[in-house]
Amino acid sequence: GENVEQHPSTLSVQEGDSAVIKCTYSDSASNYFPWYKQELGKGPQLIIDIRSNVGEKKDQRIAVTLNKTAKHFSLHITETQPEDSAVYFCAAEARDDKIIFGKGTRLHILP
């Protein structure tokens, strides 16, 4: 079945700098890759997603890239702000339409 690996597990960046989180997946049939942000005490929030028919998608300060050949995708956050501090999960849709999550990245934005 699908397996999603996510790195790093923890990431600290200075406010204003960029943050990059990387994920790999195992099933070449996967074609939908969402990213979730989870703040303390809340449920995961879908922040951006990408489908296999595009290589990059951008929404204001966040962007996601997808390399289907290499089976990896990344989240890029530019001009980081304190409110970006959270746990971020990448995910991939498996053949049976279920979502398989990575283990998460705890992002700390340093003042």
Partner 1 sequence: SAVISQKPSRDICQRGTSLTIQCQVDSQVTMMFWYRQQPGQSLTLIATANQGSEATYESGFVIDKFPISRPNLTFSTLTVSNMSPEDSSIYLCSVDRAGAGEQYFGPGTRLTVT
- One residue of 46, 54, 55, 95 binding partner 1 per CB under 8 A: 46
Of 10-18, 40-48, 68-76, 78-86: span binding partner 1 (CB under 8 A):
40-48
Distances (CA, A) of 56 to 40, 62, 94: 29, 11, 20
Of 17-25, 38-46, 56-64, 77-85: span binding partner 1 (CB under 8 A):
38-46
**32 touches partner 1 by CB under 8 A:** yes
Helix or strand holding residue 100 (H, E): strand 99-101
Contact between residue 33 and residue 90 where contact means Cβ atoms under 8 Å apart? yes
- One residue of 27, 52, 71, 101 binding partner 1 per CB under 8 A: 101
Contact between residue 6 and residue 90 where contact means Cβ atoms under 8 Å apart? yes
**95 touches partner 1 by CB under 8 A:** no
**104 touches partner 1 by CB under 8 A:** yes
Residue 3: CB atoms within 10 A of its CB come to 12
Contact between residue 34 and residue 98 where contact means Cβ atoms under 8 Å apart? no
Which spans of this chain sit near partner 1 (rule: CB under 8 A)?
32, 34, 36, 41-46, 49, 89, 93, 97-99, 101-104
